[in-house]
Amino acid sequence: MKIEPKTFQPISGQALLDLPQVLALQADTQFAMRVVASVLPFRVNNHVLEELIDWSRVPDDPMFRLVFPQPGQLEPAVFDRVADLLRAGAQEAQIREEVQRIQKIDLNPHPAGQLEHNIPVFEGERQQGIQHKYRETVLFFPSQGQTCHAYCGYCFRWAQFVGIDELKFASREAEGLVEYLRAHPQVTDVLFTGGDPMVMRTKVLERYIEPLLKLDHLDSIRIGTKSLAWWPYRFVTDSDADALLRLFERVEQAGKRLALMAHASLPVELKPAVAQEAIRRIQGTGAVIRCQAPLVKHVNDDPQVWADLWREEVRLGMVPYYMFVERDTGAREYYHLPLAQALEIYREALRRTSGLARTVRGPSMSAHPGKVCVDSIERIAGEEVFVMRFLQGRDPEWAGRTFFAKYDPQAAWLDDLKPALGEESFFFETDAPASVARTRLAEPV
């Protein structure tokens, strides 16, 4: 398939107000965008603007709601504080001070204990740029990959993009990652994440990946990316696209499994010819593509959207993997849904697909104690309960365990739930402190 090359053209920050498409909107809409973009990161590019957003449907187009600032992304009191400063013509330093206070306090930049409990200590030092929450899997944040081709409004890693160093995870040291992995032979999987590692040039990515191919205990290398949706040219016509695919092939030839953890929120992201050609080329290297995304209000809170998305993924040879619950950070109040509603959307979407799409797990929360799935709502001993299950846990013994929480139609996160059936606490609150679980992970075996 012949795909014409395209030059990547990013638009970020307040430059959104210069876009012709935005200038055509009403003045109060433009001002609201300015307010939100002062607090939350904004980035888009020419592929998203030209091929994914239906501008005839704006402001109701779900891709527009996904990418462009929406007034509801900030709580009213926060929105008004920033709006008042902008209307008053406040000094840039004053605005920046207020915005950083909001980012650090009001928006919960690092949920689920990421700073306190996920960063391991190795040889007496905290390993910045590494997270090790689950025994077999290490997350690595290469510093050159801590941005994306475009930003999702609901991104739970928004703090990587706002320019406050103390809120970032990042590492430049490939050697440090290799040393850590050699000392932890229980680790079988490394996940490169960010940001988006696919913003890196292939030569940079090679410096991180090539040394890992010599580690016998490492089975899989995963790369978390939204690039199939936001910039599929990365795999097709970019100047080093062929070199990237050869790198993927070398991973497979070394006896490792390369998994591209693709982030797709809407079926339209997979429709462009360039996206489908990118998928075909990646699969030609032997890599597998697994697909995941959060369920978010105003964007994909419709079971038919998810059924269509999963069917399209299966048709293209990809594996539906996770439906996530929106995390308790950033613009959560605008995007999140109650767990009961999330479960109903998930189950109804599954009913509309064949068995090949039912590899997807959800609705799942990456909460402090681990990855927890809402399995069902049942009545047990006269009490209505959520049936919950651990898919992963800080303590590996928790994986696969079921527990029960009181049914709460408004609960939207694990922390909102209370134990059911007369229990005073959940087992994971008393079985092993987080610090003990972290020690089990961080110490060499």
Structure tokens of 281?
């080329």
| Joined tokens for residue 174 | 């490939």
Instruction: Please state the rounded mean pLDDT for residues 217-230.
Output: 97
Contact call for residues 292 and 322 (beta carbons, < 8 A): yes
DSSP state of 161: G
Buried b (16+ CB within 10 A) or exposed e, 132-171: bbbbebbbbbbbbbbbbbbbbbbbbbbbbbbeeeebbbbb
Q: Which of 65-74, 214-223, 370-379 has the lowest mean pLDDT?
A: 65-74
Mean pLDDT computed over 176-204: 94
SS3 235: helix
User: What are 379-404's pLDDT values in tens digits?
Assistant: 999 999 999 999 999 999 999 999 99
pLDDT recorded at residue 329: 73
Please determine, for residue 342, whether its predicted confidence score (pLDDT) is greater than 70.
yes
Which of 384, 388, 440 shows the shortest CA–CA distance to 415?
388
Range with the poorest average pLDDT among 256-270, 330-344, 359-373: 330-344
Mean pLDDT to the nearest integer, 187-200: 94
Whether 443 has a pLDDT exceeding 50, the answer reads no
Q: What pLDDT is recorded for position 122?
A: 80
Q: What is the Cα–Cα distance from 10 to 95, expressed in whole angstroms?
A: 25
Taking all residues of the chain, what is their mean pLDDT, rounded to a whole number? 90
Rg (CA), the chain: 22
Q: With 80 as the cut, is the pLDDT of residue 39 above it?
A: yes
Using one digit for the tens of pLDDT, what is the confidence trace for 145-171?
Answer: 888 999 988 876 656 665 545 444 445
CA 405 – CA 314 distance, rounded (Å):
34
Examine the pLDDT at 361 and tell me if it is beyond 90: yes
CA angle 168–85–331, rounded 5-degree value: 40
pLDDT at 440: 44
Read off φ and ψ for residue 200, nearest 5 degrees. Answer: -75, 150
When pLDDT is cut at 50, 70 and 90, the band that residue 119 belongs to is confident
Amino acid at 330: G
Range with lowest mean pLDDT among 83-92, 166-175, 296-305, 366-375: 166-175
For residue 325, the model assigns a pLDDT of: 93
The answer to whether residue 433 scores a pLDDT higher than 60 is no
Cβ atoms of 401 and 390 within 8 Å: the answer is: yes
**Does residue 54 carry a pLDDT above 50?**
yes
Average pLDDT over residues 88-100: 91
pLDDT value for 127 = 77
Higher pLDDT, 370 or 161: 370
Q: Dump the DSSP string for 274-331.
A: HHHHHHHHHHTTT-EEEEEEEE-TTTS-SHHHHHHHHHHHHHTT-EEEEEEEPPSSTT
Contact 111, 119 (CB under 8 A): no
- pLDDT value of position 109: 66
- Is the CB of residue 18 less than 8 Å from the CB of residue 289? no
The alpha helices in 75-113, defined as continuous H runs, are 76-87, 92-101
Q: How far apart are CA 65 and CA 46, in angstroms?
A: 17
pLDDT of residue 445: 35
Query: What is this structure's pTM?
Result: 0.90
pLDDT given at position 162: 56
Task: Report the run of H or E that residue 392 belongs to, with start and end.
Answer: strand 383-393
Q: Where are the domains of the chain?
A: 10-106
Percent of the chain's residues with pLDDT above 70: 90
Q: Give the pLDDT mean for 422-430.
A: 92
Least confident of 141-155, 170-184, 407-421: 170-184
pLDDT over 50 at 307, yes or no: yes
Please say if the pLDDT value at position 435 is more than 60.
no
| pLDDT the model gives residue 145 | 84
Asked whether the predicted pLDDT for residue 190 surpasses 60, the reply is yes
Mean pLDDT of 101-117: 67
Residue 171 identity: S
Split at pLDDT 50, 70, 90, the class of 316 is: very high
pLDDT at 146: 82
- Two tokens, residue 378: 């049942």
Residue 208 corresponds to which tokens in the numbers above? Answer: 């991180």
| Residue 283, pLDDT above cutoff 70 | yes
Of the candidate ranges 22-31, 106-115, 270-279, the one whose mean pLDDT is the lowest = 106-115
